[in-house]
Amino acid sequence: MPTYRYELQQESGDLLIGQLAAQTAAGAASALKNRGGRIVRLVPVNNSEESALKKFWVFMNAGSGPSKKDILDFTTQLAVMVRAGISLRVAIGGICEHVENDKFKSILRLIIEEIESGATFSDAISKFPKLFSPLYINMVRASELSGSFGHMLDRIAKIITRQIETQKMIIGASIYPGVIGGLATVVTIFLLTFVLPRFAGVFAGKEEILPWPTVFLMALSAWMVIYWWIVPIVISSVSVLLVLGGKTERGGVIIDSLKLRLPILRKMLRALYITRSLQTLGELVNAGVPILSALEVTGNISGNRQYFKLWEDVGTGVKDGRRINEILDTTTLLPKPVVQMISAGEESGKLGDVLEEISEYYDRVLRDAVKTFTSLIEPAMIVFMGGIVGFIAMAIILPIFKMSAVVTG
226-260 pLDDT tens trace? 888 888 899 899 989 888 887 888 888 888 888 88
pLDDT at 408: 55
Count, residues in the chain = 409
Distance, in Å, from the CA atom of 210 to the CA atom of 206, rounded to the nearest integer, reads 7
**Is residue 170 within 8 Å of residue 158, measured between CB atoms?**
no
Biggest CA-to-CA distance, the chain: 112
Distance, in Å, from the CA atom of 312 to the CA atom of 305, rounded to the nearest integer, reads 10
**Is residue 214 within 8 Å of residue 203, measured between CB atoms?**
yes
Task: Tell how many helices (H) and how many strands (E) occur in the chain.
Answer: 18, 3
The segments of the chain whose pLDDT lies below 70 read 1-2, 4-5, 10-18, 23-26, 40-65, 207, 404-409
* 390 Cβ contact list (under 8 Å, min separation 6): none
pLDDT at 325: 85
**Is residue 196 within 8 Å of residue 221, measured between CB atoms?**
yes
**Is residue 70 within 8 Å of residue 101, measured between CB atoms?**
yes
**Is residue 134 within 8 Å of residue 91, measured between CB atoms?**
no
Radius of gyration of the chain (CA): 30
Which runs of consecutive H residues, i.e. helices, occur in 45-148?
A: 47-61, 68-83, 88-97, 102-116, 121-125, 134-146
pLDDT at 233: 92
* 69 Cβ contact list (under 8 Å, min separation 6): 164
122 CB burial (10 A radius; 0-12, 13-18, 19+): buried
DSSP-derived pairing of the beta strands 3-9 and 38-44: antiparallel
91-146 pLDDT tens trace? 888 888 888 888 888 889 889 888 888 888 988 898 888 888 888 888 888 888 77
Distance, in Å, from the CA atom of 38 to the CA atom of 29, rounded to the nearest integer, reads 10
Quick one: which of 93, 70, 85, 88 has its CA closest to 157?
A: 70
pLDDT at 43: 67
Distance, in Å, from the CA atom of 135 to the CA atom of 283, rounded to the nearest integer, reads 8
Distance, in Å, from the CA atom of 218 to the CA atom of 319, rounded to the nearest integer, reads 66
pLDDT at 321: 87
